[in-house]
Amino acid sequence: MSVYRPPRIDPSEITPEGVYLNRRDWMQGAAGLALASLLPAEAAATAPGITLPTFYKSRYSTAEDKNSYEQITSYNNFYEFGTDKGDPAENAHTLRPTPWSVEVGGEVAKPRRFDLDSLLKLAPLEERIYRLRCVEGWSMVIPWVGLPLAALLKQVEPTSRGKFVEFTTLQSPEQMPGQRTRVLDWPYVEGLRIDEAMHPLTILAVGLYGRPLPNQNGAPIRLVVPWKYGFKSIKSIVRIRLVEQQPTSSWTRSIPSEYGFYSNVNPEVDHPRWSQATERRIGEFSKRKTLMFNGYAEEVAAMYKGMDLRRYY
């Protein structure tokens, strides 16, 4: 691993509205406009109230071409801000990612509330370039900055009854207008088995393209589990609980016949309403074959040995 600075982003990859400050902030008067045109991309390693420490290149990164910052921040699923792909970029400016804290408890010896600064110091931050495969059939390659979830879990010392980990998104209809509608049962909840949560590929992401996470991607901290469909990668987390029973995630609660607990990317098990055999990489025209466990089979298949993956979808 080598120390390095946030990557220089090609100006063509980043439009003023793609910078972490949202368009409305920029457009507040002529002063905002002048600032927007003067600010070099490299200056954007901080967001209001958040500065990312130095990070390292991870050995777990894919060498595939990355999607652009513009693509990753303008085509999102974040139902708290609307159900269309463009809604989060448009609406997530009302989310306030600072101050922020994450409460970690349940079946642990040392329950604790972590503020954002202490989360950023739990382990050396790494850039992890991962494929993200959405259950809807599209995919992207995203350079996250994050830390292993295991680093946080070790701090709180899970007990032997901590067999699963439950994650919860912020509940705030004032900041998240989508929570005033009933598209899902709020707050958004997800879960992992303890071995999945402790797996070195599972990260808490705090950044994207070397900068703090934009609101639409789940600021200030979100889960990324690259071998599972995208909806497992819950955004804007405020609570993590170790539990004995398998948690019910929001999508499973909403449509249990379509979204199971495991939700491992699997080209051989179709969604009841569509095939999962292929995917469209955002920015590409033709489709690609979807890979077992989203291409991470070598690292994760052993966790599911002997399990019927049609039954445990």
Ligand X SMILES: Nc1nc2c(c(=O)[nH]1)N[C@H]1C(S)=C(S)[C@@H](COP(=O)(O)O)O[C@H]1N2
Contacts to Mo ion by CB under 5 A: 77, 134-135, 230-231
Which phi-psi region, left, alpha or beta, contains residue 81 (left: φ > 0; alpha: ψ -120 to 50)?
alpha
Site of tokens 């972590």: 114
The answer to whether 56 and 68 have CB atoms below 8 angstroms apart is no
Does 209 sit near ligand X (CB under 6 A)?
no
Cα–Cα distance, 158 to 154 (Å, whole number): 7
Site string for ligand X, 185-204 (x = CB under 6 A): ---x----------------
The DSSP letter of residue 13 is G
Does 139 sit near ligand X (CB under 6 A)?
no
The answer to whether 208 and 142 have CB atoms below 8 angstroms apart is yes
- Region from 61-69, 89-97, 116-124, 230-238 binding ligand X, contact rule CB under 6 A: 230-238
Nearer Cβ to ligand X, position 107 or 175? 175
Residue 188 binding partner per list Mo ion, ligand X, none, with a CB distance cut-off of 5 to 8 Å that depends on partner kind:
ligand X
Minimum distance from CB of 221 to Mo ion (Å)? Answer: 19
- Region from 59-67, 100-108, 122-130, 233-241 binding ligand X, contact rule CB under 6 A: 233-241
> Which secondary structure element, helix H or strand E, spans residue 106, and what is its range?
strand 101-106
Q: Which of 58, 68, 77, 252 binds ligand X (CB under 6 A)?
A: 77
Residue 132 binding partner per list ligand X, Mo ion, none, with a CB distance cut-off of 5 to 8 Å that depends on partner kind:
ligand X
Longest dimension (CA), the chain: 63
Closest CA relative to residue 32, chosen from 23, 41, 43: 23
> Which secondary structure element, helix H or strand E, spans residue 151, and what is its range?
helix 149-156
- Region from 75-83, 103-111, 266-274, 282-290 binding ligand X, contact rule CB under 6 A: 75-83
Which residues contribute to the site for ligand X (CB under 6 A)? 76-80, 132, 134, 169, 188, 217-218, 230-231, 233-236
